[in-house]
Amino acid sequence: MNRVHEITPSDAAPTEARELFDLTGRVALVTGGTRGLGLAIARTFASAGADLVIASRNEDACAEIATELETAGVRALGCPCHVGRWDDIERLVDTAYGAFGRVDVLVNNAGIAPVYETLGGVSEELFDKTLAVNLKGPFRLTALVGGRMVAGDGGSVINVSSTGAIRPTADIVPYAAAKAGLNAMTIGFADALGPTVRVNAIMPGPFLTTIANGWDMDVLGERTRTFPLRRAGIASEIAGAALYLASDASTYTTGSILTVDGGASWAMPGGGDGR
């Protein structure tokens, strides 16, 4: 007969906060880790003691960020990868496991939101590229790394979605569709990889990273005045959510989509999340 686990004194005992969020001895792989939200997450993980594998399409940027993170006293490896290409993903996974022997935390952060003038003008190439980077790549990477996590000591997968997934606007339809798929995939993989692997998503609103350079700041200002926090976010403000999901602080959290948007779920025209 199945029985509900009974709480014991050891279960209820508080754990030191520093221990809950300590990533010492763990290896994190972060895609899109050389700028924006991915870089902020990688820096925070390093400060919590994790070793890092940094992936992006820019080989020089990967090497530069890996060198920076090593100054924090952790091991770091830069590995160029186009996450829309499964051959690249397989090479990335083999490289990460070859260097560190394990991956404990996977952050699917890399994403693109190509601009188009009209929906009728969206080319097949643009559509396929958008879904490849934002959805197909994270699927393959989670399948490969998640499978190894299940066979090993478990782990945590964190997908970086967008509020565009639930509040799409006309200028981000393919991107929003891909992010909606990523939300669904988060829940599906949580079921597939449980109980030893947790899979969650962060759903950011507008963040002032490099992608914001193409935004109309007057429009942004008008919209953010309706937010409870009255502003857009800065990259470092995503890091706490990621650290929570990566660490032992979230051992009973899986299949969740955590919104980090200043209090208002909406999609910023021209790219949504500011990665």
Residue numbers annotated as active site: 175
Other C-beta atoms closer than 10 Å to the C-beta of 73 total: 9
| CB-facing half-sphere around the CA of 47: CA atoms within 13 A | 11
33 near 41, Cβ under 8 Å?
Answer: yes
User: Which residues contact residue 3 at a Cβ distance below 8 angstroms, ignoring those fewer than 6 apart?
Assistant: none
Which of these, 260, 258, 272, 257, lies nearest to 164 by C-alpha position?
Answer: 272
Q: Order across the sheet with 51-56: list the strands.
A: 76-80, 51-56, 27-31, 105-108, 155-160, 197-204, 257-260
| CA-CA-CA-CA torsion sign (82, 87, 93, 95) | negative
Residue with tokens 């990868």: 81
- Helices and strands (H, E) in the chain, number of each type: 10, 7
Residue with tokens 């260097």: 99
51 near 27, Cβ under 8 Å?
Answer: yes
**CA atoms of 156 and 242, how far apart (whole Å):** 10
**CA atoms of 161 and 146, how far apart (whole Å):** 18
Residue 203 DSSP symbol: E
